[in-house]
Amino acid sequence: MYDISACSFGIYLLQEFILRILFYHTSFSIVISQYALLWVTTLITLFLSYALTSLTRKAKCGRMLV
């Protein structure tokens, strides 16, 4: 388990791609109300980008990339 400061650059890199997938390739923004949309997307984006970054850092080449 890594702390967030060790994964911050990977989170920064991946958040844009996750947000694009959520908004442009799913009906996510239609299903959730506009008031909850900000908070739900923030939590989902942070969780997914943190999970993907920590998985990437476990690989040998991933430590050099992220």
> Is this prediction's pTM over 0.85?
no
Task: Determine the pLDDT at residue 19.
Answer: 93
Contact 50, 4 (CB under 8 A): yes
Task: Determine the pLDDT at residue 18.
Answer: 94
pLDDT in tens, 31-53: 888 889 999 999 999 999 999 98
Buried b (16+ CB within 10 A) or exposed e, 10-42: bbeebbeebbeebeeeeeeeeeeeeeebeebbe
Percent of the chain with pLDDT over 90: 39
